[in-house]
Amino acid sequence: MALFEEYKNHPDPFVRERANNWTIAIGLQRVDRHNVSDFLIQVARQKIEGKITINKAQALIDEHYEQMNSNRSSL
């Protein structure tokens, strides 16, 4: 199944557009050979469904990767 395929025929056009935008963004990361985490996909789903704002999504992602970098530094 393609990423965010479940939103392809969603009745809300804004949900479809957000899913398409996230699919493109993640696809561009993959073109650059960057793997996206399950966490990022989970945050994207929350944003697509309108549960969080883009600012909240950015904050969650920033916090997550900051914490990951902090954990690596302490090794």
| Chain segment 16-61, per-residue pLDDT in tens | 999 999 999 999 999 999 999 999 999 999 999 999 999 999 999 9
**What are the structure tokens assigned to 53, written together?**
């704002």
- The domain total for the chain is 1
Q: Is the pLDDT of residue 14 over 80?
A: yes
Is residue 31 situated within a structural domain?
A: yes
Is residue 5 situated within a structural domain?
A: no
Is residue 6 situated within a structural domain?
A: no
Is residue 1 situated within a structural domain?
A: no
Its domain, for residue 21, covers: 11-73
Q: Is the pLDDT of residue 1 over 80?
A: no
| Residues whose CB falls within 8 Å of the CB of residue 30, separated by 6 or more in sequence, listed in order | 36
Is residue 30 situated within a structural domain?
A: yes
Is residue 44 situated within a structural domain?
A: yes
Residue in the structure block whose two tokens are 């992602």 = 61
Q: Is the pLDDT of residue 75 over 80?
A: no
